[in-house]
Amino acid sequence: MVILTIVFQARSGGVFLNAVNLQGILGLLPEVALVAMGVTLLMICGEFDLSVGSVFALTPMSMAVLLEAGWPFLPAISVGLFVAMAVGFVNGVLTVKFAIPSFITTLGMLFVARSMTVVISGGFPPLLPLNVIPKWLFVTYVGPGDMFRVSFIWFVVIAVGMTLLLSRTNFGNWVRATGGFLPAAKSMGIPTKRVKIACFMICSLLAGFAGTLQVMRLGAPLPSIGEGLELQAVAAAVIGGTALTGGIGTILGGIIGATLIRVIDNGLVLSQVDANWFKMALGALTVFAVILNAWLRKKAKSIKVETGK
Amino acid sequence: MNSDPIIQVKNLHKWYSGVHALKDVTLDFSRNETVGLVGDNGAGKSTLINLLSGMQSPTEGEIFFEGNKVSFKGPADAMEAGIETIYQYNSMVPTMSIARNMFIGREPMKYSIGGIGILDTKKMAVESVQAIADVDLHLRSPDALVGELSGGQRQGVAIARAMHFKSKVMILDEPTNHLAVKETQKVLGFIKSLKTLGIPGIFISHNIHHVFECCDRMVAMARGEVVLNKRVEDTNMTEILEVL
C-alpha cells in the first residue's frame, strides 16, 4: 500500500496525497468498507452474499420513497434498514432451511432486490427532500481541515464494534467455529443455523446502511447504485486474507482490502490511466492476494513443523 | 458412589424414513465401567450414540440419565447434563486455537447480555493449559491452531475438554480411526485413564482389539439390535466375530 501510495503520488504529480483528494478517498471509503466488512463476516461464517449491491440500492430507495411520501426522517431510515435486515433474514432462512448454497440464494436475491428497487422508485428516482435529512449526522465534513465526513466516524465505530464482536465475544467464536468446521460446531451445541442467519442479517444491514450513506452524500437515490459492488466486496475480503472456505479472516483484513481497492481506483484515475484499467488491476490484485496468502500459510506451516515438538 | 446405572435406555427405536435403524434396544451403562460398543457399519452404533448425545431424538422408547427420564433437544442439552461425545473427526475446529476450541459453546464471559458477551480470554488460556496438562498432553501454547496438531493430539485436547467440563459420561465415537499406530496407543491410553478418574465411558470402534484392550464390558450390535452383552472376561474375540 505504501508502495502504491508513492507510485500514485509521483504519477499524479502530487495530487494523490493532497488534502482534497484524500478527502475524496476518505469520503468514499466508508461506503465500500462497510459492505466489505459485512461480507467478510459472512464469509468467515462460511456463507456468501451476492445481494449486497442490490440491498445497497434498495435500502436508501425505500427510505427515499417514504421521505417523499412525507414521512419524517427517523421512521423512514428505520424502515429502510429494516428492509435490509429482512432481506438478510430471507437469505439466511432460505439458505439454512433448504440447505442450498448461499451463492444461489443470494444470486436470486441480487435480482429480486434490484428489481424491487426499480419498481418502488416507479422508474423515476424520487428527489430527496434535503431539508429533512440530518446531514450533519452523516455526511458533512468534520475534523481538521474538513478531512473527514461524519460517515467516516460511523465507519470507525462500526469497524471497532465488528472487530470486537468477531474476536472478543462468544458470538464471534461461534461464527468462526460455524465457518471453520460445521460438524464440530454442531456437535458442540452451537446454534449454527441461527448464527448463520444472524450473519446474513448483519451483512445485509451494513450494506443497506452503506447505501444510505452514499445516497445522502449524493443527494439522490439512483436505482442503479451498487451494481458490481458485491464482487468488489468479495474481492476486498479475499485481498484481506479471508478464505472462501470459511473460518479464516479478519474484519481488519476486509477493511484493508477495501482501502486498497479505493486507493487503486483513485490512483489510476489521477495517474491519468484509462479508467477501464481499474477492473484489470482489481482482478490481478485479487488473484495475487490469494496466491500470496496460500503461499504464506504454507510457509508458516513448514516453519512451525520444523521448530515444532 | 452408588451402583445404579448412570444411563439406562429402554425399548429404544429409531426409524429413518422407512429404515428401522434401532430395534428395541435396552441397555444399562453403569458407573465405574468402560463399555465397548462394536458392530459393523449400519449396525446401529452411531444411531444409538446420536440419541445419547442429543444429536437426534428416538422415535420410541426412553432414556434415563442418573435415574431421571431425559429427552435432549440438542447436543447442548446432553452436554449440560454431563454427557460428552468425542467424534472421530468433528469435535474440533482446525482453524481455531486450542484455547478457543476448548470452550466452544461454553465460553467463559466477563459479562453478557442475552447470552452474547465478552469472552474472558485470560481465563480461557489459563484453564486450557491446565486441562491439557491434566491429561498429560504437552503442547506448546494454547494459542496454537488445532489444525497444526496431529490426530492423536486433537483427540487428547477433546478428552481434556470433556474432563475440564466435569462430564459424567464420555462417549468416544471411533476416536482411533485414521490414526497412526503410535497415536492410537496414546488415545487408548487416554481411554484407560478414564477408569482411574472414575468417569464411565462408552467406546465405539470397528476395531475389536482396541475395545478388548481398554473396556470392561462388550456390547455388540448387528442389524439394529444388541446381539451380545457380556463382561470382557466372559467372552472372547471369536464369539463376538460370530455374532456380528
State how many domains chain A has: 1
Instruction: Write down the pTM of the prediction.
Output: 0.86
pLDDT tens per residue, range A116-142: 999 998 877 777 777 777 777 777 777
ipTM: 0.80
More confident call, A145 vs B162: B162
In a domain, A234, yes or no: yes
Q: What is the pLDDT of residues A247-275, one digit of tens each?
A: 899 999 999 999 988 888 888 878 777 77
CA B58 to chain A, closest CA, distance in angstroms equals: 17
Chain B residue with Cα closest to A190: B105
Dist CA A201 CA A93 (whole Å) = 10
Q: Which chain B residues are closer than 8 Å to A170 by Cβ?
A: 107, 109, 112, 115-117, 119
Residue type, B178: H
Number of other residues whose CB lies within 10 A of the CB of residue B172 = 29
Residues of B with CB under 8 A from a CB of A: 53-55, 74-77, 79, 85, 87, 89-96, 100, 103-107, 109, 112, 115-119, 121, 140, 148
Residue A278 pLDDT: 83
Residue B21, SS3?
A: strand
Mutating which of A170, A199, A293 best tests the B interface, going by the most B Cβ atoms within 10 A? A170
Q: What is the rounded distance in angstroms from the CA atom of residue A236 to the CA atom of residue A49?
A: 13
C-alpha cell of residue A170: 462468544
Question: What value does the mean pLDDT take over residues B162-180?
Answer: 83
Q: Which helix (H) or strand (E) holds B9?
A: strand B7-16
Q: What is the CATH number of the domain that holds A98?
A: 1.10.3470
Q: How many CB atoms lie within 10 A of CB B55?
A: 19
Residue with cell 490469494: A290
Q: What are phi and psi of B171, to 5 degrees?
A: -105, 125
Of B55, B77, B93, the CB nearest to A181: B93
Measured between alpha carbons, how far is A26 from A9 in angstroms, rounded to an integer?
16
Mutant choice from B95, B103, B141, B173 vs A, greatest count of A C-beta within 10 A: B95
- The domain of A146 spans 2-297
Interface of A to B at Cβ within 8 Å reads 164, 168-174, 176-177, 180-181, 183-190, 247-248, 301, 304, 308
Domain presence at residue A129: yes
Query: Smallest Cα–Cα separation from A179: which of A202, A149, A199, A158?
Result: A199
Structural domains of chain B ordered from first start: 7-243 (3.40.50.300)
B119–A168: do the CB atoms touch at under 8 Å?
Answer: yes
Tell me the per-residue pLDDT of A205-257, one tens digit each, with 9 for 90 and over: 999 999 999 988 888 888 888 888 999 999 999 988 898 888 899 999 999 99
Query: Does pLDDT of A308 surpass 50?
Result: no
**What distance in Å separates the CA atoms of residue A46 and residue A17, rounded to the nearest whole number?**
38
Judge: B91–A187 Cβ closer than 8 Å, yes or no.
yes
Is A306 part of any domain? no
